[in-house]
C-alpha cells in the first residue's frame, strides 16, 4: 500500500474515451489498496483553443486574465475524470489549484509555487477517496488565479508528492520512458530504466521534452522518486532517482539531447572592458528574455565578440534590443542566426571519464560539422551547430558513445 | 453618474466578435462616468458542449462535479470580456463567483445565494475599474464550487445590484424588452415600457422566458430597479418596477403568457379523505419534481380525481411515481397527457376589474377551445388547453383584451 501521485498529460486525457481509460487505470491502483492523488492537464487542444479565443479579443492579452482563461482547461478535466471515477464506483473528489490550496507568487502565466495546504487532501485520502487535482494552476495570496506556465502540471504533481510525502510521483505521458535520445531521430534509441535527477535536468533543459525541468528540479530538491511511463501501454517506464549507483560499468554518456528552439545573437567588436557582459545582458533580461548559452572570446585590440543564445520565439525582440545596445556601446555590429541547433551529450559518468569532450569534437569534425559555440557543465557538453546537420550529429554521437540499442549488454 | 450592473447572456457573448461589441457598449457607459459591474453567462453553446462531455463519461453526473465543470463556461467569458475591455484601454478585472465572493448553500446545480462580499468590488470601483463577474456560480462555506441552475446569471446580476445598492440592474438579452405576449405567436405584440415585479413574476413563471423568475423575485425583494433591453439594438427596453402607478387607464390585462413545457397527470378515483393531497404529492416532491398547477374537484361517492402539472422533462419519472401511488392508495387509475399548453392572462389591473375571468372563458369557448384546468391568483388566470389550440388561444385573447399594437393609445 503506497501513496502515489499520478499525473496524466493532455494527450492522455485528450478525449472522454481516454479520460475513461485513465479512470480505469487509477481504479486498478486504488483497488490494490494504494492511496491516489491524480493530477491532470487540460484535454489536448483545449489550451490552444483558449489561446485562439484570447488572441481574437486582445493583441497582447493581460496576463492576469490569461490565467483566468487557461485555468478552465484543467478544471474541465478534473470534473470529467472525477465523474468517470464515480461512474466506476470509485469515490473521488476534484480540486482546482485554488481549492487544494496551492499558493503561488503573483507572476501571472509563470507563477512559482510557494506552499500547499495538504489538509483537505489528507482528509479525503483518510476517507478513502481518490483526489483529482487540476495541474498547472494555483492562487496568489489575494486569491487571484495564477498558472505555472506551460507544462506546469508536472510541477504540480511533484509539489503535491513532496507535500504529501508520496512514495512515488508517476508522470504518465505518450512515451514509455526517457530515451538515450529522440527515437524519431535515432531508430535504435534505447529506453533507460533509471536516470539521475542531474542527468534528467540536463536532458530536459536541452529539449528532451518528456518532463519539465522545473518538475525534475523540484523532485530532486525534495527527493521525490519520479517515474515517467506511458498512459497507453504497460511497462516500468524510467525511474528518475537521486542515487548514482556508481557502477564501474556506468557509461560515460547516458544520452544525447538536442534542441532546435534556440537562436544565436552576436555583438561584434565590443570594447573588452570589465562589466561589459552585464551591460549587454541586463537590457535583454529586462525584457524577460531568458539567455541560455553565453560565449565570450578573449579579444584582440581591446575588442571582443560576445555571443549568446535565446529561445527562438524571443529572437526578434532580442535582436532589436541588441541593435540598440550595439549603438549604445559603440560596438561594430550586431548579428543573429535562427538556423542553429544545440546538441548535448549528458552523463554523470562523464565526471570520471577524461576525453569525452575531445571524442565528441572529433566525431563531429570527422563528419565535417563545424562547431559554432561550446559550453560545458559537470555532466554535460553542448555545442551549437548549423541546424541542417542536427540529425547527422545526433545519430553519429549516439553510435559513437555506445548508446545504440543493439550495442547494449546491460544498462544499470 | 450611476452605479449600473449590466448582465449579458450567452447569445450576447456568443462569439469573440460579440464579446468585443459588449466591451464597446460597456466602455461607452464607463466613458459617461458610470461605475459598471458586468455579469456574463457562458458563450452560447458552451454549456451544451460541457454537458455533452459529462454525459459521455457518466450516466448521471455527480452534482458536485457538474458544478466544477459548468462553472468553467462563465470563467472563459469573464476573462475574454476583460481582455476586450483592456484592449479598448478600459481598466477592468474579472472575478469568478468564488472570488467575488458569492456564498451559496451546498445544493449543487441549484444553489441559492446566501451572501455577497462586496469588499473587493468596492475597491475596484473606487479605483475606476470595470468589474466583470461570472454569473450563475458561487461557492459554499467550504469553498466547493456551486451553480445557481440554468439562467442563474440573471440572479447573480440582481444579487450584485442589491449588495452594491446599484441604481439599476440592466439585463441585456436578444429581445428588446418584455412584450404583451410572444411576438412569434402574435404579430402585433407590443413592448411594454414598464411592468410591475408582480406581473413580471407571473409572466416569467408562465414561460415568457425573458427573465428568470428567481431574479425578478430577488429584485422585487430588494427593490432593485430592473431593466430588460437588447444587446443588439438601442432602445429603452422595459423597466420592471415596484411602482403600480395606479392610473385609471391601467389596462385590466397587461400580457398573455403561455407555456408548452408542462405535462398533466391525473389520479382517477382516489379516496376523498383528509391528507390525500399530500400523500400524492409527497412522493413526487421527494423525487425533486416540481409541481405547478394542482386541481382537485369535489368528489362523488367519497372518490375524487386529482390532477396536477409538472415540467415535461419530469413527465416520465412523475408518471412512474404516480403509477406506484395509484396502487398504494388503491385509486382507480393514473393517467397523463403531454400534449397540453398553459395560457395565462396577467395584470395588476385585474384586481380591480371584475369579469376578467368570465371574459377569458367566453373568448376561449367562442373559439371552441375546451378548458381542461383552471387556476387563478390575484393578478393572473391560467388555463390548460389542448396544445394544438395554443396559438389560436393566445392571439384571440391578445386581441380581446386590447393588447394589440394598433389598438393602444397610451401605455403607462
Question: Are B57 and A16 a contacting pair at CB < 8 A?
Answer: yes
Q: Identify all chain A residues contacting B65, using CB atoms and an 8 Å cutoff.
A: 79-80, 82-83, 86, 94
B57 with A93: Cβ contact below 8 A: no
pLDDT at A12: 94
- The 10 Å Cβ neighbour count of residue A87 is 16
Tell whether B40 lies on the interface with A, counting CB pairs under 8 A.
Answer: no
- Burial of residue B261 (CB within 10 Å: 0-12, 13-18, 19+) is middle
Does residue B4 have a pLDDT over 50? yes
For B362, B385, B392, B397, the CA distances from B366, given in Å and listed in that order, are 6, 14, 11, 11
Residues facing A145 on adjacent strands: A139
Q: Which of A5-9, A215-219, A299-303 has the highest mean pLDDT?
A: A5-9
**Distance, CA of A97 to CA of A131 (rounded, Å):** 12
Task: Tell me if chain B has a CB within 8 Å of the CB of A61.
Answer: yes
Flag whether pLDDT at B301 surpasses 80.
no
> Touching check for B87 and chain A: CB below 8 Å?
yes
Of A133, A126, A131, the C-alpha closest to A102 is A133
Locate cell 415585479: which residue?
B197
Q: Judge if the upstream peptide bond of residue B32 is cis by omega within 30 degrees of 0.
A: no
Burial class from Cβ neighbours inside 10 Å (0-12, 13-18, 19+) for residue B3 reads middle
- Edge-first strand listing for the sheet containing B303-311: B291-296, B303-311, B262-271, B333-337
Separation of alpha carbons B98 and B134, rounded Å: 9
pLDDT at A243 over 80: no
Opening angle at CA A106, ends A102 and A109, nearest 5:
85
Closest Cβ–Cβ partner in B19, B54, B84 for A83: B54
User: Do B267 and B323 form a contact (C-beta atoms < 8 A)?
Assistant: no
The rounded mean pLDDT for chain B is 90
**Residues of B in Cβ contact (< 8 Å) with A62:** 82-83, 86
Cα–Cα dist B148/B155, whole Å: 8
B57 near A CB under 8 A: yes
Pair B218, B162: CB distance under 8 Å? yes
Question: Taking 80 as the threshold, does the pLDDT of residue B297 lie above it?
Answer: no
Dist CA A158 CA A163 (whole Å): 9
B-chain residue closest to A98, CA distance:
B143
Beta-carbon separation of A19 and B86 below 8 A: no
| CA separation, residue B82 to residues A60, A109, A377, B40, B88 (Å) | 13, 16, 46, 11, 10
Residue the block writes with cell 375571468:
B357
What residues are paired with A36 via a beta bridge? A4
Closest CA to B276 of B267, B263, B288: B267
Q: Verify whether the Cβ–Cβ distance A83 to B61 is below 8 Å.
A: yes
Write out chain B residues lying below 8 Å of A94, CB-based.
64-65, 68
Question: How far is Cα B197 from Cα B13, in angstroms, rounded to an integer?
Answer: 27
B66 touches chain A (CB under 8 A): yes
How confident is the model over B185-236, as pLDDT tens digits? Answer: 898 899 999 998 888 888 876 556 678 778 888 899 999 999 999 998 899 9
> CB-CB: which of A86, A99, A143 is closest to B99?
A143
Q: Which chain A residues are Cβ-neighbours of B57 within 8 angstroms?
A: 16, 19-20, 23, 80-81, 83-84, 87
Note whether B68 contacts A75, CB cutoff 8 Å.
Answer: yes
- For residues A146 and A140, the answer to whether their CB atoms sit within 8 Å is yes
Distance from CA of A34 to the nearest CA of B (A): 23
B69 closest CA partner among B12, B2, B145: B145
Rounded to a whole number of angstroms, the distance from the CA of B62 to the nearest CA of chain A is 6
Q: How many Cα atoms are found within 13 Å in the side-chain-facing hemisphere of B101?
A: 14
- CB of A68 within 8 Å of a chain B CB? The answer is yes
The pLDDT of residue A408: 42
The minimal CB distance from A57 to the residues B19, B54, B57 is found for: B19
Q: What is the dihedral of CA B157, B130, B128, B33, to 10 degrees?
A: -80
Q: What is the share, in percent, of chain A residues with pLDDT greater than 90?
A: 66
Task: Give B62's contacts in chain A (Cβ within 8 Å).
Answer: 82-83, 86
Confidence of residue A410 (pLDDT cuts 50, 70, 90): very low
Higher pLDDT, B64 or A212: B64
Residue B408 has pLDDT above 60, yes or no: no
d(CA A305, CA A303): 7
Residue B50 at interface with chain A, using a CB cutoff of 8 Å: yes
Interface test with chain A among B20, B22, B83, by most A beta carbons within 10 Å: B83
Q: Which residues of A touch B18 (CB under 8 A)?
A: none
Using an 8 Å CB-CB cutoff, list chain B residues near A96: 68, 145
What letter would DSSP give residue A170?
E
Does residue A412 carry a pLDDT above 60? no
Cα distance between residue B26 and residue B24, in whole Å = 6
* B80 with A20: Cβ contact below 8 A: no
Residue B175 pLDDT: 84
CB contact under 8 A, A80 and B72: no
**What are B209's three cell numbers?**
422566458
How many contacts, defined by CB atoms under 8 Å, are there between A and B?
A: 113
Q: Which residues of B touch A99 (CB under 8 A)?
A: 143-145
- Please check whether residue A44 touches B, CB under 8 A: no
The cell numbers describing A248, all together, are 564501474
Which residue from B58, B72, B79 is facing A83, i.e. has the nearest CB? Answer: B58
pLDDT of residue A164: 96
* Placement of cell 541588441 in the chain: A322
Using an 8 Å Cβ cutoff, are B81 and B24 in contact? Answer: no
Q: Which residue of A has its CA nearest to B80?
A: A54
Phi/psi at A41 (5° precision): -95, 180
Strand order of the sheet with strand A340-346? A255-259, A340-346, A380-386, A373-377
Highest mean pLDDT among A212-226, A384-398, B244-258, B369-383: A384-398
Secondary structure of residue B22 in the 3-state scheme:
helix
Which of A54, A80, A143 is the closest to B54 by Cβ?
A: A80
Q: What is the DSSP secondary structure assignment for residue B289, as one 8-state letter? A: P
Give the residue with greater pLDDT, B238 vs B272: B238
What percent of chain A stands above pLDDT 70?
A: 94
Q: How far is A260 from chain B (nearest CA, A)?
A: 33
Cell 571524442 belongs to residue:
A359
- Looking at the complex, report in whole angstroms how far the Cα of residue A5 sits from the nearest Cα belonging to chain B: 21
Query: Within an 8 Å CB–CB cutoff, is residue B94 touching chain A?
Result: yes
Write out the three cell numbers for A141.
495570496
Closest chain B residue to A18 measured between Cα atoms? B57
Contact A72 B68 (CB under 8 A): no
Q: Do A69 and B75 touch (CB under 8 A)?
A: yes
Would you state the pLDDT for residue A214? 82
Q: How far is CA A101 from the centre of its chain?
A: 24
Strand partners, B103: B115, B139
Contact present, A213 and A292 (Cβ < 8 Å): no
Q: Supply the pTM of this predicted model.
A: 0.79
C-alpha cell at B54: 459529462
Chain B contact for A279 (CB, 8 A cutoff): no
Give the residue, B123 or A302, on which the prediction is more confident. Answer: B123
* CA-wise closest residue to B216 among B225, A351, A367, A7: B225
pLDDT over 50 (residue B409): no
Residue A69 contacts B, CB cutoff 8 Å: yes
Greater pLDDT, B109 or B408: B109
pLDDT at residue A111 is higher than 80: yes
Q: Maximum distance among all alpha carbons in chain A? A: 77
Closest C-alpha to A306, from A314, A319, A297, A318 = A297
Confirm or reject contact between A123 and chain B (CB < 8 A).
no
DSSP string, B75-92: HHHHHHHHHHHHHTT--E
Distance from CA of A37 to the nearest CA of B (A): 16
Average pLDDT over residues A255-270: 92
Cis preceding linkage at A101, omega within 30: yes
pLDDT band, very low/low/confident/very high, at A245 (cuts 50, 70, 90): low
Does the structure show a pLDDT above 60 at A247? no
Give B406 or B189, the one with higher predicted confidence: B189
Picking from B23, B66, B75, the nearest residue to A68 by CB comes out as B75
Amino acid at each position: 500500500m503506497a501513496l502515489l501521485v499520478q499525473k496524466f498529460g493532455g494527450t492522455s486525457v485528450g478525449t472522454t474515451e481516454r479520460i475513461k481509460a485513465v479512470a480505469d487505470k487509477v481504479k486498478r491502483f486504488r483497488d490494490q489498496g494504494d492511496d491516489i492523488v491524480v493530477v491532470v492537464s487540460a484535454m489536448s487542444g483545449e489550451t490552444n483553443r483558449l489561446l485562439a479565443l484570447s488572441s481574437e479579443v486582445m493583441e497582447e492579452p493581460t496576463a492576469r486574465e490569461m490565467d483566468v482563461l487557461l485555468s478552465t482547461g484543467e478544471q474541465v478535466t478534473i470534473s470529467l475524470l472525477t465523474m468517470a471515477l464515480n461512474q466506476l464506483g470509485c469515490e473521488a473528489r476534484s480540486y482546482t489549484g485554488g481549492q487544494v490550496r496551492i499558493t503561488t507568487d503573483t507572476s501571472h502565466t509563470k507563477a512559482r509555487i510557494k506552499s500547499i495546504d495538504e489538509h483537505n487532501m489528507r482528509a479525503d485520502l483518510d476517507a478513502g477517496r481518490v483526489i483529482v487535482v487540476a495541474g498547472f494552476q494555483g492562487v496568489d495570496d489575494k486569491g487571484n488565479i495564477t498558472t505555472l506556465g506551460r507544462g506546469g502540471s508536472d510541477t504540480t504533481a511533484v509539489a503535491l508528492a513532496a507535500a504529501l510525502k508520496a512514495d512515488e510521483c508517476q508522470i504518465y505521458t505518450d512515451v514509455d520512458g526517457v530515451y538515450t535520445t529522440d527515437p524519431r531521430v535515432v531508430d535504435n534509441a534505447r529506453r533507460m530504466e533509471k536516470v539521475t535527477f542531474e542527468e534528467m535536468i540536463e536532458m530536459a533543459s536541452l529539449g528532451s521534452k518528456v518532463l519539465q525541468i522545473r518538475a525534475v528540479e523540484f523532485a530532486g530538491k525534495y527527493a521525490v522518486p519520479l517515474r515517467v511511463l506511458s498512459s497507453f501501454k504497460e511497462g516500468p517506464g524510467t525511474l528518475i532517482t537521486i542515487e548514482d549507483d556508481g557502477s564501474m560499468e556506468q557509461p560515460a554518456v547516458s544520452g544525447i539531447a538536442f534542441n532546435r528552439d534556440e537562436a544565436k545573437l552576436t555583438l561584434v567588436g565590443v570594447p573588452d572592458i570589465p562589466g561589459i557582459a552585464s551591460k549587454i545582458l541586463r537590457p535583454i533580461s529586462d525584457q524577460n528574455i531568458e539567455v541560455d548559452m553565453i560565449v565570450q572570446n578573449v579579444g584582440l585590440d581591446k575588442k571582443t565578440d560576445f555571443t549568446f543564445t535565446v529561445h527562438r520565439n524571443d529572437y526578434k525582440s532580442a535582436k532589436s534590443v541588441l541593435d540598440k545596445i550595439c549603438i549604445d556601446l559603440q560596438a561594430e555590429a550586431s548579428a543573429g542566426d535562427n538556423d542553429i541547433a544545440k546538441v548535448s551529450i549528458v552523463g554523470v559518468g562523464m565526471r570520471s571519464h577524461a576525453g569525452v569532450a575531445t571524442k565528441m569534437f572529433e566525431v563531429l569534425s570527422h563528419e565535417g560539422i563545424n562547431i559554432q559555440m561550446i559550453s560545458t557543465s559537470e555532466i554535460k557538453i553542448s555545442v551549437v551547430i548549423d541546424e541542417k546537420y542536427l540529425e547527422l550529429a545526433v545519430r553519429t554521437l549516439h553510435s559513437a558513445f555506445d548508446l545504440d540499442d543493439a550495442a547494449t549488454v546491460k544498462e544499470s
